[in-house]
Structure 1
């Protein structure tokens, strides 16, 4: 499938399959394409039912709402843009997603204050901003991912030095156009 048109994204699986959700024009907002989401959620499907999920750069909500549609227990969406965060709240209300919280603010600052551990963390920041290494460091410092949890990283292909912790085992990796997808399983330290 192509990128969403008319600033709407389509949920591709689960209870809200084929639902269209609007998202605003915000600089750097780049919803994960249907094709990429299908791949990622095929990888994660066995681990999603009941999972506590953190979508660090929620943007359009493509990853977080897809996880909810596929039986995640609870999803926290972090979004810096007030416009995008407001739309995320409206979309959660439209879907009657009571197991979803939208936190508006800088993802780095929010990560530094979290104390909850998650089963799945999505890291899909705006490209070219150098945010991934700092996010990974904060996730480790604050012990935000459970052992045997999953960290999905979506980045530009040329980004290679992420300073991945030694106990994060690369489970799957794929290239899709200009994007590199990586799924890590967090092992015992």
Structure 2
């Protein structure tokens, strides 16, 4: 969930996104209207979680640049064991913590207030099974984040990324493309660490 603002000034007004599947289906997430905040669309999220369905039960999820938290909360709603939501904007952090309280989800969902790059450098490894990486597009942070991810990943981790249409960053050796798609404005792709032998049509594409 990308946004262009660095954070600090209070956001004005609120919007909404909804959880589209699982036990919290149709729950509305109140989203402060932060400049540049770009929620992942319902259609893209539905496609992503269809791809991830076999992996979600019991998974440990890391949602970097969490924004509204729609990706991380959707994952827990659909069966993930836990999620860490990392967000630096104070208004978004407050909204996330309020939603976690409303859902009575504190035992499964941790909201981390801080810069994602610093958190990746200093935090204890979480050994995440699934990582959502959707940084502010203008900041160009994909390579810096990916370089810091390895010690935070399980051996067979999955990585989901969003980027501007036509400019999906290349991943280093060790990752294999599982599925990819796109809209007019956004490219998105799901990768898996190539240390595990994959079966089936791993390199298939699925534009939407």
| TM-score (ref. length: structure 2) | 0.84
Once residues 74 and 166 of structure 2 are traced to their aligned partners in structure 1, the CA distance between those partners, rounded to angstroms, is 27
Q: Where does structure 1 differ by over 3 angstroms across 4 or more consecutive aligned residues? A: none
Could you give the per-residue CA deviations for residues 130-185 of structure 1, whole angstroms, max 9, x where no partner exists? 11110001103xx212122100001111324x341211101111112210011000
> Which residue of structure 2 aligns with residue 124 of structure 1?
134
Match of 1:22 among 30, 45, 49: 30
> Which residue of structure 2 aligns with residue 101 of structure 1?
110
- Gap runs ≥5 in structure 2: 1-13, 197-208
Q: CA RMSD in A?
A: 1.3
- 1:92 matches 2:124: no
Once residues 17 and 86 of structure 2 are traced to their aligned partners in structure 1, the CA distance between those partners, rounded to angstroms, is 18
Contact 1:147 1:187 in 2 (8 A): no
Counterpart secondary structure, 1:46: coil
Once residues 10 and 138 of structure 1 are traced to their aligned partners in structure 2, the CA distance between those partners, rounded to angstroms, is 31
Could you give the per-residue CA deviations for residues 70-90 of structure 1, whole angstroms, max 9, x where no partner exists? 011010000010000010000
Contact 1:146 1:186 in 2 (8 A): no
> Which residue of structure 2 aligns with residue 139 of structure 1?
149
Q: Give the structure with higher Rg (CA).
A: 2
Count of residue pairs the alignment pairs up:
181
- 1:152 matches 2:165: no
- 1:7 matches 2:15: yes
Once residues 12 and 28 of structure 1 are traced to their aligned partners in structure 2, the CA distance between those partners, rounded to angstroms, is 23
Once residues 80 and 116 of structure 1 are traced to their aligned partners in structure 2, the CA distance between those partners, rounded to angstroms, is 19
- Gap runs ≥5 in structure 1: 1-5
